[in-house]
A and B are shown apart, each in its own frame.
Chain A
Amino acid sequence: MDYHSPASFAEASALAANATGITRFLAGGTDVLVQLRSELVTPDTLIDIKKIDGVRDINSNADGSWTLGVAATGADMSEHLELGRDWPGVVEAMDLIGSTQVQGRATLTGNLCNGSPAADSVPAMVAAGVTVTVTGPDGDREVAVEDIPTGPGRTSLAKGELISAVHIPARGDNGGDAYLRFIPRTEMDIAVVGVGVSLRLDGDTVTEARVSLGAVAPTVLLVEDCAKAIIGSALDDVSLDALAAAASAACNPIDDKRGTIEFRTEVAGVLAKRAAKIAYARAKGEEA
């Protein structure tokens, strides 16, 4: 295994473009090292991007949006109070991944590029409308988070491409987000179901919403029917039931060691309701 620690994304991209065999980028490494150790994936080329300037930065932009470096860790995000005030759902989703120790290393970008349908931060990012900059041999392009994963363990990134920055939109007024997942224990598990909700209100009425589901299909889903179920409502019981039904209907899960099809389908609806209520309360400026 070759190990490189380039000083720029262009250099990293060139290294990857010219590499043969299996290439992996190393950010937090919390997935790459597990796969390496279990000999599931032994890369021929490992490119550590943490020596690139600014990769751990968390910057707020003039328009209220946020730009995160690809090696900013979960712990860095949790300690950033302003980011947490704007996007508590995204920060909490990231914070749910693994232990305190894993938080010291794990990153949004790594969670995304690992391609797991159960990745906790991804539904939250999709709900929030997060985009990423992809740097490749032909320069940079902006891609919506939901367009990165293409299936379990697979992404739309081409050879030589890597994510070089994460962009979270401006929160704006009267907005709130939330992410909830189901795990059998209180910590340390992979999501059996995950739901991210981001919404905006006009008074008591939901005017915008994005609802995303994790671990219920080969990729994280952005479910329009869920959004439709609550837009125009004050999140009354009828709309919440419609939201739950839409969430369950969107599920296309598998039976596996972590949960059954029936369980995932049912719980997706339960969590969608609960997450929507939290996001709604946050949008109203209430504690949730």
Chain B
Amino acid sequence: MSKFHVSTTVNGDAVDYLCDPRETLLDCLRDKLNLTGAKEGCGTGDCGACSVTVDGRLVCSCLMLGVEADGKQIETVEGIAEGDVLHPLQKKFIEHAALQCGICTPGILVAAKSLLEKNPNPTEEEARYWLAGNLCRCTGYDKIIRAVMETAEELREAS
């Protein structure tokens, strides 16, 4: 079985890898690029723990093949902070204890950042529906939603 050479951009860095066409983008990020921030919680697009953006679009990296990433711009949780400065969402998640075990946190942060970029002023209901594809089993979502809503408010005030 021949492998494919993929050239892509991840968090602004040009990267290359060889992959089997059956391997998902998530497999490639984790196993070939050592970017283990995105997690595999289900492998079927139902839990959102593998969330990344591809050309600005929020997707599950388990539902995209590694070969499809060729020429794309990919952003993962590892690219959310600017250097050592955390994104406001990251700070707010820590402050609000919006994570317990933390396994869903990378996916939720990527998804929440994508929400606030598209809709800086979401209602609670909009935030809940946007994040419905990101399962969290620990928190009951309460503190996550509060962190997202408060970050949105602060970002609006700052701009």
Cβ-defined contact, B22 with A36, below 8 A: yes
Q: Which residues of A contact B58 (CB under 8 A)?
A: 100-101, 104
B40 to chain A, nearest CB (A): 10
Assess whether A102 is in contact with B68, with CB atoms less than 8 Å apart. Answer: no
A28, A36, A50, A188: most-surrounded residue (chain B CB, <10 A): A188
> What CA separation (Å) do A101 and B60 show in the bound complex?
6
Further contacts, 4 of them, CB under 8 A, given A30-B63, A187-B129 = A3-B65, A29-B68, A73-B57, A101-B45
Listed in ascending order, the chain B residues whose CB lies under 8 Å from chain A are: 1, 4, 20-22, 24, 43-46, 48, 51, 54, 57-60, 62-65, 67-68, 111, 114-115, 129-134
Measured CA separation A99–B132 after assembly (Å): 6
> Measured between C-beta atoms, what is the minimum distance from A188 to chain B in Å?
6
In the bound complex, CA of A1 to CA of B64 (Å): 15
Which of A46, A104, A188 is B21 in contact with, Cβ under 8 Å? Answer: A46
Give the nearest-CB partner of B40 in chain A. A37
Q: With A75-B57, A100-B111, A101-B59 given, is the CB distance from A30 to B45 under 8 Å? A: yes
CB <8 Å contact, B62 and A37: yes
Q: State whether A100 and B68 are in contact (beta carbons under 8 Å apart), knowing that A33-B63, A34-B44, A105-B63 are contacts in the complex.
A: no
The verdict on A100 contacting B65 (CB below 8 Å), with A1-B21, A34-B44 known, is no
Tell me the smallest distance from the CB of B77 to a CB of chain A, in Å. Answer: 14
CB distance A33 to B57 under 8 Å?
no
Chain A 12-43 residues near chain B, CB threshold 8 A? 26, 28-30, 33-34, 36-38, 42
A/B interface sample: 19 pairs, CB < 8 A? A3-B21, A26-B68, A33-B62, A37-B44, A42-B22, A48-B68, A75-B57, A98-B45, A99-B46, A99-B132, A99-B134, A100-B58, A100-B132, A101-B58, A101-B63, A102-B45, A105-B59, A187-B129, A188-B46
Residues of A within 8 A of B57 (CB): 73, 75, 104
Question: Does A256 lie at the interface of the complex (its beta carbon under 8 Å from any beta carbon of B)?
Answer: no
Partner of A3, one of B4, B54, B114, B131: B4
Closest to A185 in B: B132
Within 8 Å CB of B59, what residues of A? Answer: 101, 104-105
Contacts of B62 in A (CB 8 A): 33, 37
- Annotate A35-63 by CB proximity to B: 1 below 8 A, 0 otherwise: 01110001000101010000000000000
User: In the assembled complex, which residues on chain B have CB atoms less than 8 Å from the CB atom of A104?
Assistant: 54, 57-59
Say whether A99 contacts B21, CB under 8 Å. no
Interface residues of A (CB under 8 A from B): 1-3, 26, 28-30, 33-34, 36-38, 42, 46, 48, 50, 73, 75, 98-102, 104-105, 186-188
Minimum distance in angstroms from B58 CB to a CB of chain A:
5
Rounded to whole angstroms, the CA-CA distance of A30 and B114 in the bound complex is 20
Check if B132 sits within 8 Å of A29, measured CB to CB. no
**What residues on A are CB-neighbors of B67 within 8 Å?**
3, 48
Which chain A positions have C-beta within 8 A of B134? 99
**Is the CB–CB distance between B45 and A186 below 8 Å?**
no
Given known contacts A101-B51, A188-B132, is B111 in contact with A37 (CB within 8 Å)?
no
Residues in A neighbouring B54, C-beta threshold 8 A? 104
Q: How far is the CA of A98 from the CA of B129 in the complex (A)?
A: 11
Beta-carbon nearest neighbor of A34 in chain B: B44
Which of chain B's residues have a CB closer than 8 A to the CB of A42?
22
B20 partner residues in chain A, CB cutoff 8 A: 1
Residues of A within 8 A of B68 (CB): 26, 29, 48, 50
Query: For the complex, what is the distance from the CA of A1 to the CA of B67, rounded to whole Å?
Result: 12
A100 to B63, CA, bound (A): 13
**Which chain A residues lie closer than 8 Å to B22 at the CB level?**
1, 36, 42
Contact assessment for A102 and B132 in the assembled complex, using a CB-CB cutoff below 8 Å: no
Q: How far is the CA of A6 from the CA of B69 in the complex (A)?
A: 16
A102 with B60: CB separation less than 8 A: yes
- Nearest CB on B from A6, distance (A): 14
Return B55 CB to nearest CB of chain A, in Å.
10
